Amino acid sequence: MLRRLFYLRLVIAVAVVLVVMLQSSPALAASTDPYVVRYLHVTEPIDLDLNGQGETRSFSPQDLSSGKQLFETNCLSCHVGGATLPDPLVSLSLKKLKDANPPRDNINNLVAYFRQPMTYDGSEESYWCRQVPESWLSKEEVESLAAFILTAAQKAPGWGSENF
Ligand code: HEC
């Protein structure tokens, strides 16, 4: 009787260890895009500028990976490598984002731009870029998209080139 109890405990212990192993790092690593690790050098959460006024928000490697996924599916056709094919001078480079009016080198302003694209000088609505309404992507999703673009603009080699 005692012996059977021992085996039962052993089986339960092994099962618990297996479940814990399955849920831990290999599964997490699998959801991080290799590009994020290799070219953006993000392996743990990073703080990004939220509003140009010193506030930041933390984004995990998984957030950046889902942002990259959204970018690839919906934006890449015009913005391959951070360039802007229909209008090369308005690329997604950090300098271009920074010099726009209002500056687009922070999360909130990028999100505001996705919700309603504006001309580079901010004077009127632009119909060239793809608008992202709330009915399509949630706040969380557009923030991940913004985080990916901002980090790529800061770090990805060759991002936002105007010569291609
Ligand atoms: C059909 C082509 C097209 C698609 C698709 C597209 N864009 Fe654009 N995007 C443009 C053009 C053209 C501009 C410049 C528009 C302007 O200044 O009037 C632009 C501008 C931008 C800018 C501003 C760049 C700067 O330097 O200020 C951002 C940010 C941006 N797009 C993000 C996105 C995102 C995110 C997506 C996907 C959800 C997307 N775009 C999809 C064509 C596109």
Domain boundaries, the chain: 1-25, 32-155
Question: Predicted confidence band at 162 (pLDDT cuts at 50, 70, 90)?
Answer: confident
Mean pLDDT, residues 87-103 taken together: 98
Q: Residue 51 and residue 99: Cα distance in Å, rounded?
A: 15
Q: What are phi and psi of 14, to 5 degrees?
A: -60, -40
Judged against a pLDDT cut of 60, whether residue 68 lies above it is answered with yes
Q: Which residue has the tokens 């922070």?
A: 106
If residue 59 lies in a helix (H) or strand (E), which one and from where to where? strand 56-59
Mean pLDDT, residues 45-70 taken together: 98
Judged against a pLDDT cut of 90, whether residue 3 lies above it is answered with no
- Residue among 79, 109, 142 to mutate when testing ligand 1 (max atoms within 8 A of CB): 79
The pocket around ligand 1, CB under 6 angstroms, is made up of 74-75, 77-79, 84, 86-87, 90-92, 96-97, 100, 104, 110, 113-114, 119-120, 126, 128-130, 132, 145
Q: Say how many Å lie between the CA of residue 159 and the centre of ligand 1.
A: 14
Residue 22: per-residue pLDDT: 56
What pTM did the predictor assign? 0.86
Mean pLDDT, residues 22-28 taken together: 52
Of ligand 1's atoms, which has the minimum distance to the CA of residue 71?
37
Amino acid found at 62 = Q
Contacts of 106 (CB under 8 A, 6+ apart): 48, 49, 50, 51, 52, 150
Short-list 156, 55, 27, 51, CA closest to 106: 51
Average pLDDT, the chain: 91
Q: Say how many Å lie between the CA of residue 8 and the centre of ligand 1.
A: 60
- Residue 132 in tokens: 């992202």
Residue 164: per-residue pLDDT: 63
Residue 30: per-residue pLDDT: 57
- Residue 142 in tokens: 């557009």
Residue 112: per-residue pLDDT: 98
CATH number given to 32-155: 1.10.760.10
Entry field: residues in the chain: 164
Of ligand 1's atoms, which has the minimum distance to the CA of residue 91?
26
Residue 163: per-residue pLDDT: 74
